Amino acid sequence: MRIFFLCLLLVVGVDGGIFKDLIDKIKGSIKTKLQKDLNVTLNLYKKLKEYGSKVKNMLKLTPKMLKSLKEKLKKVRLIVRDKIAGDDGSIDEINEKSGVGEYLYQGDMILSEKQAEEILENIEEETSGGARNRTKRQAFKDSSYSRKLWSQGVTYFFDYGTSEYRTHVADCRRFSLKQQKYGKITPASISTVAVAKALLYLKKKISKRLKILVPGIFTANDRLRVVAQDGCWSYVGKNGGEQSLSLGRGCEHVGVAVHELGHALGFFHTMSRYDRDAYITVIERNIKSGWRDQFTKESPQTNYNYGFGYDYGSVMHYGSHSAAMSRNLITMMPNDKNYLETLGSHILSFIDIFMMNEHYGCRKKCKPEFSAKCKNGGFPHPRNCSRCICPSGYGGALCNERPHGCGAELQATSNWQKLQDTLGFGREIREDFEFCNYWIKSPDHSQIEVKIVNPPKGVAVDGCYLAGVEIKTNRDQTHTGY
Protein backbone atom coordinates (compact mmCIF):
# COMPACT_ATOMS: atom_id res chain seq x y z
CA MET A 1 0.00 0.00 0.00
CA ARG A 2 2.63 2.40 -0.81
CA ILE A 3 3.73 4.73 -3.47
CA PHE A 4 6.66 5.89 -5.57
CA PHE A 5 9.21 7.97 -3.80
CA LEU A 6 11.53 10.08 -5.84
CA CYS A 7 15.09 11.43 -5.82
CA LEU A 8 14.19 14.97 -4.85
CA LEU A 9 16.90 17.61 -4.72
CA LEU A 10 15.68 20.19 -2.25
CA VAL A 11 17.91 22.85 -3.77
CA VAL A 12 15.35 23.00 -6.55
CA GLY A 13 13.23 26.03 -5.86
CA VAL A 14 9.45 26.09 -5.61
CA ASP A 15 7.31 28.57 -7.43
CA GLY A 16 6.61 31.25 -4.85
CA GLY A 17 3.04 31.60 -6.02
CA ILE A 18 2.30 27.90 -5.65
CA PHE A 19 3.84 27.79 -2.20
CA LYS A 20 1.98 30.89 -1.05
CA ASP A 21 -1.33 29.56 -2.38
CA LEU A 22 -0.99 26.36 -0.38
CA ILE A 23 0.55 27.78 2.77
CA ASP A 24 -2.22 30.38 2.87
CA LYS A 25 -4.64 27.47 3.14
CA ILE A 26 -2.96 26.37 6.36
CA LYS A 27 -4.10 28.69 9.08
CA GLY A 28 -3.07 29.50 12.62
CA SER A 29 -0.17 28.29 14.71
CA ILE A 30 0.47 25.11 12.73
CA LYS A 31 1.62 27.12 9.70
CA THR A 32 5.25 27.39 10.80
CA LYS A 33 5.36 23.73 11.87
CA LEU A 34 4.15 22.60 8.44
CA GLN A 35 6.07 25.04 6.32
CA LYS A 36 9.25 22.96 5.97
CA ASP A 37 7.37 19.77 5.12
CA LEU A 38 5.03 21.57 2.75
CA ASN A 39 8.10 22.94 1.01
CA VAL A 40 9.37 19.38 0.55
CA THR A 41 6.02 18.21 -0.83
CA LEU A 42 5.76 21.22 -3.13
CA ASN A 43 9.28 20.66 -4.43
CA LEU A 44 8.14 17.15 -5.26
CA TYR A 45 5.03 18.57 -6.95
CA LYS A 46 7.20 20.78 -9.15
CA LYS A 47 9.64 17.98 -9.94
CA LEU A 48 6.79 15.67 -10.92
CA LYS A 49 5.52 18.32 -13.34
CA GLU A 50 8.99 18.37 -14.90
CA TYR A 51 8.71 14.58 -15.17
CA GLY A 52 5.40 14.92 -17.01
CA SER A 53 6.38 12.99 -20.14
CA LYS A 54 8.08 10.27 -18.08
CA VAL A 55 5.02 9.82 -15.89
CA LYS A 56 2.78 9.72 -18.96
CA ASN A 57 4.97 7.04 -20.52
CA MET A 58 4.82 5.03 -17.29
CA LEU A 59 1.02 5.01 -17.54
CA LYS A 60 0.97 4.20 -21.26
CA LEU A 61 -0.76 0.91 -22.01
CA THR A 62 0.79 -1.78 -24.15
CA PRO A 63 -1.24 -2.91 -27.19
CA LYS A 64 -2.18 -6.07 -25.29
CA MET A 65 -3.33 -4.08 -22.22
CA LEU A 66 -5.25 -1.65 -24.44
CA LYS A 67 -7.08 -4.49 -26.21
CA SER A 68 -7.95 -6.09 -22.87
CA LEU A 69 -9.22 -2.76 -21.51
CA LYS A 70 -11.49 -2.22 -24.53
CA GLU A 71 -13.03 -5.66 -24.01
CA LYS A 72 -13.65 -4.94 -20.32
CA LEU A 73 -15.22 -1.55 -20.99
CA LYS A 74 -17.66 -3.12 -23.46
CA LYS A 75 -19.05 -5.22 -20.61
CA VAL A 76 -19.36 -2.37 -18.12
CA ARG A 77 -22.54 -0.36 -17.94
CA LEU A 78 -22.22 3.39 -17.63
CA ILE A 79 -22.42 4.45 -14.00
CA VAL A 80 -23.97 7.89 -13.68
CA ARG A 81 -22.60 9.01 -10.34
CA ASP A 82 -25.13 10.71 -8.14
CA LYS A 83 -24.63 14.01 -6.40
CA ILE A 84 -25.79 13.83 -2.80
CA ALA A 85 -26.92 16.92 -0.94
CA GLY A 86 -24.56 17.61 1.93
CA ASP A 87 -21.91 15.16 0.65
CA ASP A 88 -18.76 16.78 -0.71
CA GLY A 89 -17.61 13.62 -2.47
CA SER A 90 -14.42 11.58 -2.30
CA ILE A 91 -11.16 12.72 -0.71
CA ASP A 92 -9.68 13.80 -4.04
CA GLU A 93 -12.85 15.77 -4.87
CA ILE A 94 -12.90 17.46 -1.46
CA ASN A 95 -9.23 18.39 -1.70
CA GLU A 96 -9.60 19.67 -5.24
CA LYS A 97 -12.44 21.96 -4.15
CA SER A 98 -10.31 23.09 -1.21
CA GLY A 99 -7.46 23.98 -3.56
CA VAL A 100 -4.89 21.72 -1.88
CA GLY A 101 -5.28 18.34 -3.58
CA GLU A 102 -3.07 18.88 -6.62
CA TYR A 103 -0.15 20.00 -4.47
CA LEU A 104 -0.29 17.12 -1.98
CA TYR A 105 1.28 13.81 -2.91
CA GLN A 106 -1.38 11.55 -4.43
CA GLY A 107 -3.96 14.08 -3.36
CA ASP A 108 -3.79 13.81 0.45
CA MET A 109 -0.25 13.20 1.78
CA ILE A 110 2.47 15.48 3.14
CA LEU A 111 5.89 13.88 2.78
CA SER A 112 9.16 13.96 4.65
CA GLU A 113 12.36 14.72 2.76
CA LYS A 114 13.34 11.04 2.86
CA GLN A 115 10.00 9.90 1.45
CA ALA A 116 10.14 12.46 -1.35
CA GLU A 117 13.65 11.36 -2.32
CA GLU A 118 12.51 7.75 -2.55
CA ILE A 119 9.62 8.62 -4.86
CA LEU A 120 11.87 10.32 -7.36
CA GLU A 121 14.38 7.48 -7.20
CA ASN A 122 11.66 5.01 -8.11
CA ILE A 123 10.50 7.05 -11.09
CA GLU A 124 14.07 7.41 -12.30
CA GLU A 125 14.57 3.66 -12.04
CA GLU A 126 11.24 2.84 -13.69
CA THR A 127 11.88 5.12 -16.66
CA SER A 128 15.56 4.26 -17.06
CA GLY A 129 14.94 0.52 -16.91
CA GLY A 130 17.44 -0.05 -14.14
CA ALA A 131 16.73 -0.93 -10.52
CA ARG A 132 19.14 -0.63 -7.66
CA ASN A 133 19.27 -3.21 -4.94
CA ARG A 134 17.33 -1.47 -2.18
CA THR A 135 15.61 -2.84 0.89
CA LYS A 136 11.97 -3.79 0.36
CA ARG A 137 9.31 -1.97 2.29
CA GLN A 138 5.56 -1.68 2.21
CA ALA A 139 3.92 0.86 4.44
CA PHE A 140 7.19 2.54 5.34
CA LYS A 141 9.63 -0.25 5.96
CA ASP A 142 13.19 0.87 5.20
CA SER A 143 16.20 1.91 7.29
CA SER A 144 14.03 4.45 9.12
CA TYR A 145 11.10 2.02 9.53
CA SER A 146 11.33 1.68 13.31
CA ARG A 147 11.44 5.45 13.78
CA LYS A 148 8.21 5.87 11.79
CA LEU A 149 6.20 3.59 14.09
CA TRP A 150 4.14 4.91 16.98
CA SER A 151 5.77 2.40 19.31
CA GLN A 152 4.66 4.28 22.44
CA GLY A 153 1.08 4.63 21.29
CA VAL A 154 -0.72 7.43 19.50
CA THR A 155 -1.37 10.44 21.69
CA TYR A 156 -3.84 12.67 19.88
CA PHE A 157 -5.77 15.84 20.52
CA PHE A 158 -8.22 18.04 18.66
CA ASP A 159 -7.35 21.62 17.84
CA TYR A 160 -10.08 23.36 15.91
CA GLY A 161 -9.55 26.74 17.51
CA THR A 162 -9.26 27.71 21.14
CA SER A 163 -12.84 28.91 21.42
CA GLU A 164 -14.25 25.45 20.78
CA TYR A 165 -11.38 23.22 21.87
CA ARG A 166 -12.78 22.29 25.28
CA THR A 167 -16.09 21.31 23.73
CA HIS A 168 -14.34 18.97 21.29
CA VAL A 169 -12.31 17.28 24.01
CA ALA A 170 -15.40 16.85 26.17
CA ASP A 171 -17.31 15.39 23.22
CA CYS A 172 -14.55 12.91 22.48
CA ARG A 173 -14.15 11.84 26.09
CA ARG A 174 -17.89 11.27 26.37
CA PHE A 175 -17.77 9.21 23.23
CA SER A 176 -14.71 7.23 24.32
CA LEU A 177 -16.30 6.27 27.61
CA LYS A 178 -19.50 5.26 25.83
CA GLN A 179 -21.43 6.54 28.82
CA GLN A 180 -23.62 9.02 27.03
CA LYS A 181 -25.21 9.36 23.65
CA TYR A 182 -24.57 12.51 21.70
CA GLY A 183 -27.31 15.03 21.75
CA LYS A 184 -27.07 17.85 19.27
CA ILE A 185 -23.56 18.08 17.84
CA THR A 186 -22.35 21.34 16.36
CA PRO A 187 -21.07 21.13 12.76
CA ALA A 188 -17.61 22.13 13.96
CA SER A 189 -17.36 19.06 16.15
CA ILE A 190 -18.57 16.49 13.63
CA SER A 191 -15.04 15.58 12.55
CA THR A 192 -14.19 15.08 16.23
CA VAL A 193 -16.87 12.40 16.36
CA ALA A 194 -15.60 10.85 13.13
CA VAL A 195 -11.99 10.62 14.24
CA ALA A 196 -12.97 9.43 17.72
CA LYS A 197 -14.99 6.58 16.24
CA ALA A 198 -12.20 5.77 13.81
CA LEU A 199 -9.62 5.67 16.59
CA LEU A 200 -11.80 3.51 18.79
CA TYR A 201 -12.37 1.08 15.94
CA LEU A 202 -8.64 0.84 15.28
CA LYS A 203 -8.00 0.38 18.99
CA LYS A 204 -10.28 -2.67 19.05
CA LYS A 205 -8.47 -4.27 16.13
CA ILE A 206 -4.81 -3.59 16.95
CA SER A 207 -2.67 -4.79 19.84
CA LYS A 208 -1.44 -2.87 22.85
CA ARG A 209 1.77 -2.24 20.93
CA LEU A 210 -0.26 0.47 19.22
CA LYS A 211 -2.15 2.12 22.05
CA ILE A 212 -4.71 4.77 21.17
CA LEU A 213 -4.56 7.18 24.07
CA VAL A 214 -7.27 9.56 25.20
CA PRO A 215 -7.03 13.19 24.09
CA GLY A 216 -5.79 15.92 26.36
CA ILE A 217 -2.36 14.38 27.08
CA PHE A 218 0.14 17.05 26.06
CA THR A 219 3.26 15.72 27.77
CA ALA A 220 4.03 13.12 25.07
CA ASN A 221 6.93 14.03 22.81
CA ASP A 222 5.19 12.53 19.77
CA ARG A 223 1.54 13.37 19.28
CA LEU A 224 -1.08 13.74 16.59
CA ARG A 225 -2.83 17.07 16.27
CA VAL A 226 -6.22 16.74 14.56
CA VAL A 227 -7.11 20.03 12.90
CA ALA A 228 -9.88 21.35 10.68
CA GLN A 229 -7.88 23.00 7.92
CA ASP A 230 -8.74 22.99 4.23
CA GLY A 231 -8.99 19.44 2.96
CA CYS A 232 -8.35 15.92 4.24
CA TRP A 233 -4.64 15.12 4.57
CA SER A 234 -1.95 13.58 6.75
CA TYR A 235 1.72 12.79 7.07
CA VAL A 236 2.78 9.18 6.46
CA GLY A 237 4.00 7.46 9.62
CA LYS A 238 5.38 9.13 12.75
CA ASN A 239 7.65 12.08 12.04
CA GLY A 240 8.64 12.81 15.63
CA GLY A 241 7.27 15.67 17.71
CA GLU A 242 3.84 17.09 16.98
CA GLN A 243 2.33 16.41 13.57
CA SER A 244 -0.98 17.39 12.05
CA LEU A 245 -3.83 15.50 10.43
CA SER A 246 -6.55 17.59 8.81
CA LEU A 247 -10.24 16.75 8.62
CA GLY A 248 -11.68 19.91 7.14
CA ARG A 249 -15.08 20.65 5.66
CA GLY A 250 -16.41 17.60 3.84
CA CYS A 251 -14.03 15.19 5.59
CA GLU A 252 -16.30 14.55 8.59
CA HIS A 253 -16.88 10.86 7.92
CA VAL A 254 -15.52 7.81 9.72
CA GLY A 255 -14.26 6.32 6.44
CA VAL A 256 -12.29 9.46 5.60
CA ALA A 257 -10.90 9.65 9.14
CA VAL A 258 -9.81 5.99 8.98
CA HIS A 259 -8.11 6.60 5.62
CA GLU A 260 -6.12 9.58 6.90
CA LEU A 261 -5.27 7.75 10.13
CA GLY A 262 -4.03 4.89 7.95
CA HIS A 263 -1.54 7.33 6.46
CA ALA A 264 -0.56 8.65 9.89
CA LEU A 265 0.10 5.08 11.06
CA GLY A 266 2.38 4.47 8.08
CA PHE A 267 0.28 3.29 5.12
CA PHE A 268 0.28 4.55 1.54
CA HIS A 269 -2.41 3.93 -1.09
CA THR A 270 -3.29 0.43 -2.25
CA MET A 271 -3.38 1.46 -5.92
CA SER A 272 0.32 2.39 -5.76
CA ARG A 273 1.43 -1.21 -5.15
CA TYR A 274 4.11 -2.34 -7.60
CA ASP A 275 1.83 -5.18 -8.77
CA ARG A 276 -1.27 -3.05 -9.29
CA ASP A 277 -1.23 -3.50 -13.09
CA ALA A 278 -2.11 -7.17 -12.58
CA TYR A 279 -5.33 -6.08 -10.84
CA ILE A 280 -6.35 -2.67 -12.18
CA THR A 281 -5.78 -0.69 -15.36
CA VAL A 282 -5.13 3.04 -15.00
CA ILE A 283 -6.84 4.82 -17.91
CA GLU A 284 -4.48 7.74 -18.47
CA ARG A 285 -6.63 9.45 -21.10
CA ASN A 286 -9.47 9.92 -18.58
CA ILE A 287 -7.33 11.58 -15.89
CA LYS A 288 -7.78 15.32 -15.51
CA SER A 289 -4.95 17.60 -16.53
CA GLY A 290 -2.26 17.95 -13.87
CA TRP A 291 -3.24 14.79 -11.97
CA ARG A 292 -1.41 12.04 -13.89
CA ASP A 293 1.49 12.08 -11.45
CA GLN A 294 -0.96 11.08 -8.71
CA PHE A 295 -1.07 7.59 -10.25
CA THR A 296 2.59 6.60 -9.95
CA LYS A 297 3.34 3.20 -8.49
CA GLU A 298 6.17 1.54 -6.63
CA SER A 299 8.79 -0.87 -7.81
CA PRO A 300 9.37 -4.49 -6.71
CA GLN A 301 12.58 -3.30 -5.05
CA THR A 302 10.77 -1.00 -2.62
CA ASN A 303 7.32 -2.49 -2.15
CA TYR A 304 6.55 -5.18 0.43
CA ASN A 305 2.96 -6.16 1.18
CA TYR A 306 3.41 -8.75 3.94
CA GLY A 307 2.35 -11.51 1.57
CA PHE A 308 -1.19 -10.15 1.12
CA GLY A 309 -2.87 -10.07 -2.27
CA TYR A 310 -4.39 -6.98 -3.82
CA ASP A 311 -7.39 -5.77 -1.82
CA TYR A 312 -10.03 -4.01 -3.93
CA GLY A 313 -12.00 -3.34 -0.74
CA SER A 314 -9.21 -1.57 1.16
CA VAL A 315 -10.08 1.73 2.82
CA MET A 316 -6.72 2.93 1.43
CA HIS A 317 -7.86 2.52 -2.20
CA TYR A 318 -9.31 5.48 -4.11
CA GLY A 319 -12.50 5.07 -6.13
CA SER A 320 -12.71 4.01 -9.77
CA HIS A 321 -13.62 7.56 -10.87
CA SER A 322 -10.86 9.28 -8.90
CA ALA A 323 -9.34 12.37 -10.59
CA ALA A 324 -11.47 11.88 -13.71
CA MET A 325 -11.96 14.63 -16.28
CA SER A 326 -15.71 14.22 -15.80
CA ARG A 327 -17.75 12.56 -13.06
CA ASN A 328 -18.73 9.51 -15.07
CA LEU A 329 -15.35 8.61 -16.59
CA ILE A 330 -13.44 5.66 -15.14
CA THR A 331 -9.77 6.20 -14.28
CA MET A 332 -9.12 2.82 -12.62
CA MET A 333 -10.66 -0.28 -14.14
CA PRO A 334 -10.42 -3.50 -12.07
CA ASN A 335 -9.39 -6.54 -14.09
CA ASP A 336 -12.39 -8.19 -12.47
CA LYS A 337 -15.17 -5.80 -13.49
CA ASN A 338 -17.37 -6.94 -10.61
CA TYR A 339 -15.16 -4.90 -8.29
CA LEU A 340 -15.70 -1.62 -10.15
CA GLU A 341 -17.95 -0.13 -7.47
CA THR A 342 -15.97 -1.71 -4.62
CA LEU A 343 -13.04 0.66 -5.12
CA GLY A 344 -13.17 3.61 -2.73
CA SER A 345 -14.66 1.80 0.26
CA HIS A 346 -15.19 3.68 3.53
CA ILE A 347 -15.01 0.46 5.55
CA LEU A 348 -11.77 -0.79 7.07
CA SER A 349 -11.25 -4.16 5.42
CA PHE A 350 -10.05 -7.34 7.07
CA ILE A 351 -6.79 -7.17 5.11
CA ASP A 352 -6.30 -3.54 6.25
CA ILE A 353 -6.57 -4.77 9.84
CA PHE A 354 -4.36 -7.81 9.27
CA MET A 355 -1.67 -5.77 7.51
CA MET A 356 -1.64 -3.09 10.22
CA ASN A 357 -1.14 -5.77 12.86
CA GLU A 358 1.76 -7.16 10.83
CA HIS A 359 3.24 -3.69 10.35
CA TYR A 360 3.35 -3.07 14.10
CA GLY A 361 4.49 -6.59 15.00
CA CYS A 362 1.31 -7.26 16.95
CA ARG A 363 0.93 -10.87 15.86
CA LYS A 364 4.19 -11.79 17.60
CA LYS A 365 2.32 -11.49 20.89
CA CYS A 366 0.41 -14.69 20.16
CA LYS A 367 2.57 -17.83 20.17
CA PRO A 368 1.07 -20.38 17.73
CA GLU A 369 1.18 -23.25 20.22
CA PHE A 370 -0.88 -21.31 22.79
CA SER A 371 -3.21 -19.37 20.49
CA ALA A 372 -6.60 -19.91 18.91
CA LYS A 373 -6.66 -22.03 15.74
CA CYS A 374 -8.60 -19.60 13.59
CA LYS A 375 -10.70 -20.71 10.65
CA ASN A 376 -11.50 -19.04 7.31
CA GLY A 377 -8.36 -16.90 7.28
CA GLY A 378 -8.77 -15.28 10.70
CA PHE A 379 -5.85 -14.64 13.06
CA PRO A 380 -5.44 -14.59 16.87
CA HIS A 381 -6.40 -11.29 18.46
CA PRO A 382 -3.23 -9.72 19.92
CA ARG A 383 -5.22 -8.50 22.94
CA ASN A 384 -6.71 -11.95 23.59
CA CYS A 385 -4.86 -14.76 21.83
CA SER A 386 -7.62 -17.27 22.63
CA ARG A 387 -10.00 -15.48 20.27
CA CYS A 388 -9.72 -14.52 16.61
CA ILE A 389 -10.12 -11.44 14.48
CA CYS A 390 -12.30 -12.63 11.60
CA PRO A 391 -12.93 -11.75 7.96
CA SER A 392 -16.25 -10.08 7.23
CA GLY A 393 -19.14 -12.52 7.44
CA TYR A 394 -17.53 -14.66 10.14
CA GLY A 395 -17.63 -14.51 13.93
CA GLY A 396 -17.26 -16.53 17.09
CA ALA A 397 -14.04 -17.28 18.91
CA LEU A 398 -12.61 -19.21 15.94
CA CYS A 399 -14.26 -17.50 12.93
CA ASN A 400 -16.44 -20.55 12.28
CA GLU A 401 -19.76 -19.02 13.30
CA ARG A 402 -22.14 -16.46 11.88
CA PRO A 403 -21.55 -13.08 13.53
CA HIS A 404 -24.04 -12.10 16.21
CA GLY A 405 -26.78 -9.68 15.31
CA CYS A 406 -28.90 -9.07 12.25
CA GLY A 407 -29.23 -11.98 9.81
CA ALA A 408 -29.85 -15.73 10.01
CA GLU A 409 -28.74 -19.16 8.84
CA LEU A 410 -30.78 -20.33 5.85
CA GLN A 411 -31.01 -23.71 4.12
CA ALA A 412 -30.97 -23.79 0.32
CA THR A 413 -33.41 -26.19 -1.37
CA SER A 414 -34.03 -27.40 -4.90
CA ASN A 415 -36.77 -24.77 -5.25
CA TRP A 416 -36.24 -21.02 -5.28
CA GLN A 417 -36.91 -19.29 -1.96
CA LYS A 418 -37.40 -15.60 -1.39
CA LEU A 419 -35.52 -13.47 1.13
CA GLN A 420 -36.49 -9.88 1.69
CA ASP A 421 -34.64 -7.64 4.10
CA THR A 422 -34.74 -3.95 4.88
CA LEU A 423 -31.77 -2.17 6.40
CA GLY A 424 -30.90 1.39 7.24
CA PHE A 425 -32.65 4.38 8.66
CA GLY A 426 -34.20 6.04 5.65
CA ARG A 427 -32.89 9.54 5.09
CA GLU A 428 -31.33 9.78 8.52
CA ILE A 429 -27.56 10.25 8.21
CA ARG A 430 -25.51 8.10 10.57
CA GLU A 431 -21.79 7.56 10.94
CA ASP A 432 -22.13 3.89 11.91
CA PHE A 433 -22.60 1.14 9.35
CA GLU A 434 -25.24 -1.49 9.97
CA PHE A 435 -24.25 -5.02 8.95
CA CYS A 436 -26.57 -7.97 8.38
CA ASN A 437 -25.03 -11.41 7.80
CA TYR A 438 -26.87 -14.33 6.18
CA TRP A 439 -25.34 -17.78 5.89
CA ILE A 440 -26.87 -19.96 3.18
CA LYS A 441 -26.13 -23.68 3.54
CA SER A 442 -26.62 -26.57 1.14
CA PRO A 443 -25.84 -30.31 1.07
CA ASP A 444 -22.26 -31.41 0.40
CA HIS A 445 -21.12 -31.43 -3.24
CA SER A 446 -23.85 -29.01 -4.28
CA GLN A 447 -23.75 -25.41 -5.47
CA ILE A 448 -25.84 -22.51 -4.23
CA GLU A 449 -27.48 -20.13 -6.67
CA VAL A 450 -28.35 -16.60 -5.57
CA LYS A 451 -30.30 -14.14 -7.68
CA ILE A 452 -30.85 -10.54 -6.63
CA VAL A 453 -34.31 -9.55 -7.83
CA ASN A 454 -35.51 -5.95 -8.08
CA PRO A 455 -32.88 -4.35 -5.85
CA PRO A 456 -33.58 -0.75 -4.85
CA LYS A 457 -31.97 1.79 -7.15
CA GLY A 458 -29.83 3.09 -4.34
CA VAL A 459 -27.24 5.81 -4.85
CA ALA A 460 -24.33 5.50 -7.28
CA VAL A 461 -21.14 6.45 -5.44
CA ASP A 462 -17.65 4.96 -5.47
CA GLY A 463 -17.18 2.44 -2.69
CA CYS A 464 -20.91 1.88 -2.10
CA TYR A 465 -20.51 3.61 1.26
CA LEU A 466 -24.25 4.29 1.59
CA ALA A 467 -25.43 0.72 1.00
CA GLY A 468 -24.18 -2.48 -0.58
CA VAL A 469 -24.34 -6.27 -0.78
CA GLU A 470 -21.28 -8.51 -0.47
CA ILE A 471 -21.62 -12.13 -1.59
CA LYS A 472 -18.53 -14.06 -0.57
CA THR A 473 -17.78 -16.47 -3.41
CA ASN A 474 -13.98 -16.24 -3.39
CA ARG A 475 -11.99 -19.25 -2.28
CA ASP A 476 -9.90 -16.83 -0.20
CA GLN A 477 -12.44 -15.54 2.31
CA THR A 478 -10.10 -12.84 3.63
CA HIS A 479 -10.72 -10.67 0.58
CA THR A 480 -13.67 -8.37 0.10
CA GLY A 481 -16.13 -10.43 -1.91
CA TYR A 482 -18.92 -9.79 -4.35
Q: Single out the residue of 152, 222, 212 nearest to residue 176, CA to CA.
A: 212
With pLDDT > 90 as the criterion, what percentage of the chain qualifies? 28
**Which tens digit of pLDDT belongs to each residue from 418-458?**
998 887 776 666 667 889 999 999 999 999 999 988 777 77
Interval 203-223 mean pLDDT = 61
User: What pLDDT does residue 273 have?
Assistant: 92
Question: Is 321 annotated among the ligand-binding residues?
Answer: no
pLDDT band at 181 (very low <50, low <70, confident <90, very high): very low
| pLDDT score of 203 more than 60 | no
Integer Cα distance of 274 and 296 in angstroms: 9
User: What pLDDT does residue 14 have?
Assistant: 33
- Which letter does DSSP use for residue 186 in this model? -
User: What pLDDT does residue 210 have?
Assistant: 56
Average pLDDT, the chain: 77
Which range is least confidently modeled, 86-90, 340-344, 445-449? 86-90
User: What pLDDT does residue 370 have?
Assistant: 92
- Which letter does DSSP use for residue 190 in this model? H
* End-to-end alpha carbon distance in the chain: 22
Which range is least confidently modeled, 21-25, 244-248, 358-362, 403-407? 21-25
Interval 92-113 mean pLDDT = 87
Question: Is 259 annotated among the ligand-binding residues?
Answer: yes
| pLDDT score of 162 more than 50 | no
Could you tell me which residues are beta bridge partners of residue 379? 389
Q: Single out the residue of 268, 289, 287, 269 nearest to residue 332, CA to CA.
A: 287
User: What pLDDT does residue 250 have?
Assistant: 86
The domains of the chain, with CATH numbers, are 1-364 (3.40.390.10)
| pLDDT score of 290 more than 50 | yes
Burial letters 196-216, b for 16+ CB under 10 A, else e: bbbbbbbbebbbebbebbebe
User: What pLDDT does residue 165 have?
Assistant: 41
Compute the residue count for the chain: 482
Instruction: State the pTM of this model.
Output: 0.81
Integer Cα distance of 371 and 392 in angstroms: 21
Which range is least confidently modeled, 64-78, 121-135, 346-360, 383-397? 121-135
Integer Cα distance of 270 and 263 in angstroms: 11
- What is the amino acid identity at position 101? G
User: What pLDDT does residue 155 have?
Assistant: 80
| pLDDT score of 12 more than 80 | no
Integer Cα distance of 296 and 321 in angstroms: 16
Neighbouring residues of 435: CB distance < 8 A, sequence distance ≥ 6: 392, 403, 405, 406
| pLDDT score of 135 more than 80 | no
| pLDDT score of 11 more than 50 | no
**Which tens digit of pLDDT belongs to each residue from 389-414?**
999 999 999 999 999 999 999 999 99
Decide which of 262 and 456 is more confident.
262
How many C-beta atoms lie closer than 10 Å to residue 165's C-beta?
15
User: What pLDDT does residue 195 have?
Assistant: 61
**Which tens digit of pLDDT belongs to each residue from 16-47?**
444 455 555 554 444 455 666 677 777 777 77
Catalytic residue positions? 260
| pLDDT score of 384 more than 70 | yes
**In this structure, are residues 440 and 473 in contact, taking their beta carbons and an 8 Å threshold?**
no
**In this structure, are residues 81 and 460 in contact, taking their beta carbons and an 8 Å threshold?**
yes
Alpha helices, DSSP H, located in 348-436: 350-359
Question: Is 346 annotated among the ligand-binding residues?
Answer: no
